[in-house]
Amino acid sequence: MNFFQYRNGRLYAEEVPVSEIASAYGTPLYIYSARTLHRHFRAYDEAFDGVPHIICFALKANSSSALLRSLAKQGCGADVVSGGEIFRALKAKIPSGKIVYAGVGKTEEEIRYALRSRILMFNVESENELFEIDRIAGSMKTKAPIALRVNPDIDPGTHPYISTGLRKHKFGIPLEDAFEYYKAARKLRNTEVVGIHKHIGSQITRLSPFVDALKRTLSLIDELCVSGAEIRYLDIGGGLGITYKDEEPPVPHDLAESLLPMLKGRRLTIIVEPGRSIAGNAGILITKVLYMKAGKEKDFVIVDAGMNDLIRPSFYGAYHHIQPVEKRKRRNILADVVGPICESGDFLAKEREIPAVRQGEYLAVMSAGAYGFSMSSNYNSRPRAAEVLVSGKDFTLIRRRETYSDLTRGDIVPPSV
């Protein structure tokens, strides 16, 4: 459930009319609902209440400082994939002991930063990375807590770009090789094996891939325990899907109900890494209609939000429901909803049947709280959008709109030019 609903023909974010927020801060504009965000976090926290667990929000979905601080107050941890995300998590007061660090390309600087920060564990993705972490930890006279990310070769049935658990992908260590990697890790002087990690993809709408991946991972844990390894943390990843159009994904309770029986009697702390399923439907993107352009076969609705603001439709062919902020009786039209970017691939919707809209009115692009602002850019030298957080009757600017001056803030023009 989310807290973006129509009341008397006006779209509200919790207790505030969306048009009021857009008038105050302009467009394009991301609006987030604190109630929705907290509700989705609690759904995970309560679903896994029967076992020791940490819910680690995946910062790649949305790294807004205000949202992270809000989740930290709920008791949330962080799943990070860069030094910058570690910095953001710590600045938001997420405890370092609730931070897990994945990603195939950790640099020496990032590894040192993570060790100094005393994160919970590194999710190691390759043999070379394992040896590099051990070397760096030794130079710092410390021990690095690690889990190996195993690749269970499970097809999650999602978009190829967000599928991560097949043998052909760059992520993780093949499951059949993992035992030997663990043997090698246990011999290293500057690492401590504390866990095991798997993550098979994103926007998964069936439970069976999660179940199959966990079965394979638990078989490896049993083999490791017989060999004398002590596995304390089982990181089952994230990836649970949300409703964008007509999907009917399982909810956290369903996920826990399918997995917890397999974990009964095991002395493991379970780590879950949801991102999209916490933030996705907690945010919307508001855009204004700039022009209407009639075409031979369809119309074009030209808006002020482009692929630099929300790249998912262009990048993945992803669907986002688009609706007027002010609902009224009107005919439907067939149209492409397109932005101002100088690319034919700049669209928010293609050949979509939508209510006939007028120049100057606001549209809401729904389910934009995950992989929206976090994937935005300054392409075409466009300042990035503002962000607002709504809580009940209150709304607060949590990121100001960039200015033209911001676009050149890091530029250096040599005197010789």
Judge: domain 95-274, CATH 3.40.50.720.
Answer: no
Question: Where do the H-state alpha helices sit in 148-231?
Answer: 175-187, 208-226
Beta-carbon neighbour count of residue 282 at 10 Å?
Answer: 30
Query: Are the C-beta atoms of residues 72 and 94 closer than 8 Å to each other?
Result: yes
* pLDDT confidence of residue 202: 76
The question of whether 76 is a catalytic residue gets the answer no
pLDDT per residue as tens digits for the range 267-279: 999 999 999 999 9
* pLDDT confidence of residue 267: 92
Distance (Å, whole) CA 214 – CA 212: 5
- Of 56, 76, 225, 342, the active-site residue reads 342
Q: What percent of the chain has pLDDT over 70?
A: 96
Nearest to 366, CA basis, from 4, 22, 35, 7? 4
* pLDDT confidence of residue 162: 39
Same fold, 4-32+280-407 and 95-274: no
* pLDDT confidence of residue 155: 64
* Tokens 């994230």 sit on residue: 238
State the architecture of 4-32+280-407 in CATH terms. Answer: Beta Barrel (2.40)
pTM: 0.93
Residues of the chain with pLDDT under 50: 158-168
Residue spans of the domains in the chain: they are 4-32+280-407, 95-274
